[in-house]
Chain A
Amino acid sequence: MPDPFDSILYKYVYCTLSSTDDVACVGSGLFGGGLLPGGLEWLAYVLTAVTIVAVLINAILGGVLMMIWGERRLLGRFQGRTGPNRWGPFGLLTPVADAVKTMFKEDVMPTVSDRLVFTAAPILMLFPALLIYAVLPFGAGTWLADINVALLFIIAIGGANVLAIVAAALGSGNRYAMFSAMRAVAMLISYEIPLVISLIGVLMLSGSLSLVAIVNAQTLPFFIVQPLGFFVFLVASMAELNRTPFDVAEAESEIVAGYMTDYSSMKFGLFFLSEFAATIATSGVITAVFLGGWHGFDPIPSQIWFIGKMVAVLAVIVWIRASWPRLRIDQIMNFAWKALFELTLINLVVSGILLLIWPSPSTPELWYMAGVNWVVFLASIYIFGKVLGPKHDPVAAGNIQSGITLSDSDAPAIPAGGGD
């Protein structure tokens, strides 16, 4: 079990409150420490936990608001528009106004709905999204909990939100919602597998399931060493998050709003919130596992590095959303089982062989591994594109035969009235 005092957050708050004589607390803690009298260490422990969780949840809410603003601004710019700029400086208060509006809207409950399930669904949706943050290391020593099975925890929690989607669909008794739930379940089952297997390469390199250990193991960011794993993980987590081009579960041009169709007011708000919270959390996981976590160069604090990398991942996700159309559900299934699953297996085998050659790789050896892996990555993408891509090029198949140029001798056969 890792020492809780590794977490700076825990150390500062606990040592400020508790009058413990623990060695780790000497010299740390504000106001000289020991605000609570001795013998109340248990209370200090509880208060510390409550404080950190409260700070974290509020930070998440603030982050979600910022992300809503950022996504809308960025989407606007990708489309040549300005984006929201009316409320507050640069439109920063737009999501706040949206949130207030959402809270004061009428909460419509469809008559055919199952009240209990209908109400429980948004809450069920929010919890997994928030729980992921418990294990995310936001910076050197800045985490809520450093558990030794963090990756397993994230994968287990991340799969839980489909339950909420099914509950929402069943509860609202809407047929569009049923379509959405069917799609979401099918997609989750398919994409969970490549998602998990793509992480095994990282596990083999780092030798630990703890996110902190994985970050510490990244002398070279793992997206360089494990390009195939990074690619599959990025794609699969975008599918889990229902982001374009895999947003079939809430495809607004097909099934209106999917499982959210019948929701209004703050229930809809919770769905919205949890979706964005999950997106931020996933980008955090990607940052921690593949982009070197909080590592960076020195004058900039590690927390800033982590958040900067997270924002970069989010920007790429928004960029993809702005550029690409949506895939069809059967194509998504095909992609998961015929492409991503095999790619992860290739990654697994290649990583295993490379680790046999260099059992505990040093940094230059990591570079050699990266070289091999990149060659494998590009080659397999090329081969898979050849094998699974469309058999004929639509540009060539639906080719434009320019009709015969009309000349003066090609006189009109049937003259019409009007013009002449």
Chain B
Amino acid sequence: MPLKTEPITINVGPQHPSTHGVFRMRVTFDGEEVIDVEPIFGYLHRGSEKLAESRTYTQIVTLTDRMDYVASMTNNMSFILSVEKLAGIVPPPRGVWLRMIAAELQRIASHLVATGFFLQDLGALGTPLILMMRERETILELFERLCGARITNSYMRPGGVFMDAPDDFWPALNRFLSDMPHRIDEYEDLISGNEIVAARCDGVAVVDSQTLIDASVTGPMLRASGIDWDLRHRQPYEYYNRVKFNRPLATTSDNYARYIVRIHEMRESLGIIKQCLEQIEPGPVRPETVPALIRPPAGDSYVGTECPKGELGFYLVSDGGVAPYRCKVRAPSLINLTLLREMLIGDKLADLFVTFGSIDINMGEVDR
């Protein structure tokens, strides 16, 4: 006679140590095994899209900072590119290079946070997280030199960036670039070869690539399944067609693959920044002709950019006024989260949070 067990339902979150913000899952367990997951979100909804309709294009930049608050620069960039397409503004080269440097630095910072918290969910008592926060701190200090803020940067403006980088930024950036590869090696020593990490992550939460494509998942999660889809390469925006970089791909599409792809993307980002430094030239960072209140012609625009978490795009509709008629955000965090249920069912309780961490979501972006 099989042993009869009773399913047990737990509300995980919104106040739980490892739900990465105010996320809630109603999980049904059979013993330690997950048999049903119902994601519930919206606790951090601030109506950013609606707020954008009553703000000028420059003011919306401050809203984008607060969507994915661990990757403000890339959010800024995505929005700015959409506005520039809508209004037909051509940024000067130096502005574009600066934006690319800032965006790639932000990508490293975001991947550091993602990997660190992923390891934290695995149960490593803070050591990888704190070591990664140390490097993120260096990046945030660079941002502070660049734009006076660490998290809510608001560095970019339609037409470029608000101000050229200060003189002390460049030596600090060079120091970071020479230091960071050793740090990444250190993380790999600490994590990549660790048998416990391998045992916990290898073959857990495998999703096949067709499911990922059908769910329109993007970013490192898609590249971990072997699909070569990187918007920086497929639809180059900014000057990404002038730099050479590899797209790290993993094949197994499990938690380990998602982790290792992020580690390798950090190395590639460092390479991109080096190439930017070689190609950047003096000049203005923002055209003189851009008015304070941008009035784009009536129409719409969408530019998808490769953010640390996936494709982030702003769909803007203008009626010719100073504020967009509609601002729709394609948030990678939200769309990557849609596969959560499929990934979790059948796994153990302990893998619930590891898988959740490997998706790398940000509640500010999910709920907006």
Contacts and interface: CB of A to CB of B under 8 A. Distances in A.
Contacts of A107: none
B40 interface: no
B230 A251 contact: no
Contacts of B130: 79-81
Interface string B209-252: 00000000000000010101010011111111101111111111
Interface in B271-296: none
Contact of A403 (B131, B196, B237, B249): B249
A417 B81 contact: yes
Interface stretch (A114-122, A302-310, A408-416): A408-416
Given A179-B32, A253-B121, A325-B194, A406 B233 contact: yes
Q: Of A179, A252, A393, A397, which is in contact with the most chain B CB atoms at under 10 Å from its CB? A: A397
A417 to B, nearest CB: 3
Contacts of B84: 417-418
Contact of B301 (A179, A251, A328, A417): A417
Interface stretch (B139-147, B325-333, B348-356): B348-356
State which size class the interface on B falls in: 35 or more
Contact of A398 (B8, B85, B260): B260
B18 interface: yes
Nearest to B243: A406
A79 B134 CA distance: 10
Contacts of B353: 253-254
B64 interface: no
A403 B264 CA distance: 11
B123 A256 contact: no
The DSSP consensus for interface residues of chain A is loop
Contact of A321 (B81, B125, B249): B125
A403 B246 contact: yes
B16 interface: yes
Interface stretch (A128-136, A209-217, A241-249, A285-293): A241-249
B47 to A, nearest CB: 26
Contact of A414 (B80, B234, B238, B256): B234
A415 B236 contact: yes
Interface residues of A, number: 58
Contacts of B250: 398-401
Contact of A80 (B16, B134, B201): B134
A324 B124 contact: yes
Contact of A406 (B122, B134, B245): B245
A272 to B, nearest CB: 16
B249 A401 contact: yes
A323 B125 CA distance: 8
Interface string B165-207: 0000000000000000000000000101111111111100000
Interface of A: 75, 78-81, 175-176, 178-179, 182, 244-245, 247-248, 251-256, 321-331, 389-390, 392-395, 397-407, 411-420
- Of all A-B residue pairs in the complex, the 3 with the closest CB atoms, nearest first, are A326-B123, A403-B247, A417-B85
